[in-house]
């Protein structure tokens, strides 16, 4: 056995060595590649940095080849960072490159509005308007508000209630109805840990800001934090009636799994994730979605073009953003991603518009910037315990 162990260690060491060597080789390779793109003139290479759940990655993997077919001289490389695994680092990278006056290597960036706002002071992103991106005229004007033309809302999604229609007969219409439903059906509702996924976070934010005037969602001043008490009280009161008297599964998928295996009957979920999984039969057929009124938060996803690109990259990046706003890509948004289109509904087929009636109720936009982090911290301290 001892001999065996020795052999094992030997094998392990060799494998580890081989792995490391391979790693360092890959490293070299990458360097070569980037070096290449600077010298070769016929093909422009741009990197798209994006984050989110798997459906976002699948979406880009569908769209990028379509784009490259139409624009043979542009090569788009997708750098995808799954949600909660350092998406923030892309912003840090951009900021660091700006300070050092270097090219960040990020040519197109998909992120939230808070990133665009954070980048504004540093002039991180390029202004985009109809002169460089023609299809901006297709965008729903409401969504362009607050972007200062630094970010293009190319799609949107919202958090809705997903429920088991066999067990839930009286579907709540308002947040108050929902809280009553939860109390009357102990253990049958779950929202995920808001620090790990947007749907739980939306439930928490909506609950807290429903107790405040509607404009409060746009306040980024810390003085509003003391007004959160009432909402936190509601969350605390709800806890004994939640799944396992207050277990908050990790990630958006965590609660959807509970719904799928029948442990709970109702969860807040991203409309796009839920629709996609219903379509792939990952959620049972009795699953239905509904937006309550006032709605949960949701919002657009934005494309930004960093200002540190050279002329060629800039044009290619703009071309790509423009392409994302064409009806063809928007159809992919709807059909493959089950997201809301970023362009006016009127520009799309009527059939597609009908499909979305159940969830297209009005979602709200939380624009509290870094207050979201403070909210998470307080949730972890007061509710998770």
Partner 1 sequence: MIAKKQKLLGIAMVLPSFLSLIILVVWPVFISIKQSFQNEENQFTWDNYKYVLTDPMMVNNFKYTMLVTLISCVLVLIISYALAAYLRFSNSWFSKVISRLYFIPMFIPGIIAIYGFINMYRDNGWIARFIGSENMPSFVYDIKGLVLMNLWFNIPFTTMLLLSALSAIPGSVIESARDVGAKKLTIFFKFILPLSYNTLLVALTFAFMGIVGSFTAPYLIDKNAPQMLGVSMQQHFSVYHELGQSSSIAVILFLMCAVVGFIYIKNMMKNESHS
Instruction: Report the alpha-carbon distance of residue 158 to residue 168 in Å, rounded.
Output: 21
Instruction: Report the alpha-carbon distance of residue 178 to residue 210 in Å, rounded.
Output: 13
Residue among 57 and 149 whose Cβ is closer to partner 1? 57
| Piece of 36-44, 93-101, 205-213, 369-377 that binds partner 1 (CB under 8 A) | 369-377
Task: Determine how many CB atoms are found less than 10 A away from the CB of residue 233.
Answer: 13
Residue among 45 and 251 whose Cβ is closer to partner 1? 251
Minimum CB separation of residue 241 from partner 1 in Å reads: 16
Tell me: does residue 99 bind partner 1 (CB under 8 A): no
Residue among 21 and 148 whose Cβ is closer to partner 1? 21
Instruction: Report the alpha-carbon distance of residue 109 to residue 304 in Å, rounded.
Output: 5
Q: Which of 7, 11, 20, 180 binds partner 1 (CB under 8 A)?
A: 20
What percent of the chain is helix, strand and coil (3-state, nearest 5)? 50, 15, 35
**Cα angle value 56/61/67 (rounded, 5°):** 115
Per-residue x/- marks for partner 1, 22-61, CB under 8 A? -xx-------------------------------------
Number of residues interacting with partner 1: please give it, by CB under 8 A.
Answer: 34
Tell me: does residue 385 bind partner 1 (CB under 8 A): yes
Instruction: Report the alpha-carbon distance of residue 332 to residue 339 in Å, rounded.
Output: 9
Burial of 355 (0-12, 13-18, 19+ CB in 10 A): middle
Minimum CB separation of residue 149 from partner 1 in Å reads: 26
Q: Which of 5, 29, 100, 169 binds partner 1 (CB under 8 A)?
A: 5
Instruction: Report the alpha-carbon distance of residue 332 to residue 66 in Å, rounded.
Output: 11
Minimum CB separation of residue 77 from partner 1 in Å reads: 23
Residue among 65 and 262 whose Cβ is closer to partner 1? 262
Minimum CB separation of residue 119 from partner 1 in Å reads: 15
Residue among 81 and 365 whose Cβ is closer to partner 1? 81
Q: Which of 1, 100, 170, 351 binds partner 1 (CB under 8 A)?
A: 1
| Piece of 60-68, 130-138, 145-153, 242-250 that binds partner 1 (CB under 8 A) | 242-250
Q: Which of 35, 86, 186, 240 binds partner 1 (CB under 8 A)?
A: 86
Residue among 84 and 361 whose Cβ is closer to partner 1? 84
Q: Which of 66, 97, 171, 247 binds partner 1 (CB under 8 A)?
A: 247
Six-digit token pair at 198? 């947007």
Residue among 197 and 342 whose Cβ is closer to partner 1? 197
Per-residue x/- marks for partner 1, 193-232, CB under 8 A? x-xx------------------------------------
Tell me: does residue 65 bind partner 1 (CB under 8 A): no
Per-residue x/- marks for partner 1, 256-295, CB under 8 A? -----xxx--------------------------------
Residue among 282 and 352 whose Cβ is closer to partner 1? 282
Tell me: does residue 84 bind partner 1 (CB under 8 A): yes
Instruction: Report the alpha-carbon distance of residue 171 to residue 234 in Å, rounded.
Output: 20
Minimum CB separation of residue 263 from partner 1 in Å reads: 6
Query: Among residues 345, 300, 378, 368, which one has the least CA distance to residue 117?
Result: 368
Residues that bind partner 1 (CB under 8 A): 1-2, 4-5, 8, 16-17, 20-21, 23-24, 84-88, 193, 195-196, 244, 247-250, 261-263, 373, 376-377, 380-381, 384-385
């Amino acid at each position: 056995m001892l001999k065996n162990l020795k052999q094992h260690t030997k094998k392990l060491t060799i494998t580890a060595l081989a792995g490391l060597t391979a790693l360092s080789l890959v490293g070299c390779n990458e360097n070569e590649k980037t070096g290449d793109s600077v010298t070769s003139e016929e093909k422009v290479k741009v990197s798209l940095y994006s984050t989110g759940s798997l459906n976002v990655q699948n979406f880009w993997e569908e769209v990028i080849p379509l784009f490259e077919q139409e624009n043979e001289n542009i090569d788009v490389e997708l750098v995808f960072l799954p949600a909660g695994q350092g998406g923030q680092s892309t912003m840090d990278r951009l900021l660091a490159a700006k300070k050092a006056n270097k090219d960040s290597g990020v040519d197109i960036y998909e992120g939230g509005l808070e990133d665009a706002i954070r980048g504004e002071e540093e002039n991180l992103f390029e202004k985009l308007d109809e002169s460089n991106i023609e299809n901006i005229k297709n965008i729903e004007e409401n969504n362009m508000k607050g972007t200062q033309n630094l970010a293009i809302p190319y799609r949107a999604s919202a958090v809705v209630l997903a429920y088991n229609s066999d067990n839930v007969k009286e579907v709540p219409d308002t947040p108050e109805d929902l809280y009553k439903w939860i109390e009357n059906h102990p253990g049958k509702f779950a929202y995920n840990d808001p620090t790990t996924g947007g749907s739980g976070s939306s439930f928490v934010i909506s609950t807290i800001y429903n107790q405040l005037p509607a404009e409060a969602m746009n306040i980024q001043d810390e003085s509003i934090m003391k007004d959160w008490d009432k909402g936190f009280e509601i969350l605390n009161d709800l806890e004994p009636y939640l799944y396992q008297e207050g277990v908050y599964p990790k990630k958006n998928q965590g609660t959807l799994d509970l719904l799928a295996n029948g442990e709970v009957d109702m969860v807040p979920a991203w409309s796009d994730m839920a629709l996609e999984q219903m379509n792939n039969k990952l959620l049972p057929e009795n699953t239905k979605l509904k937006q309550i009124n006032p709605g949960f938060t949701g919002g657009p996803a934005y494309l930004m073009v960093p200002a540190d690109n050279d002329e060629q990259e800039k044009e290619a990046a703009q071309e790509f953003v423009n392409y994302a706003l064409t009806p063809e890509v928007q159809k992919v948004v709807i059909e493959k991603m089950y997201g809301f289109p970023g362009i006016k509904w009127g520009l799309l087929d009527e059939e597609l518009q009908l499909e979305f009636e159940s969830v297209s109720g009005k979602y709200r936009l939380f624009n509290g910037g870094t207050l979201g982090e403070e909210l998470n911290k307080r949730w972890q301290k007061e509710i998770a315990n």
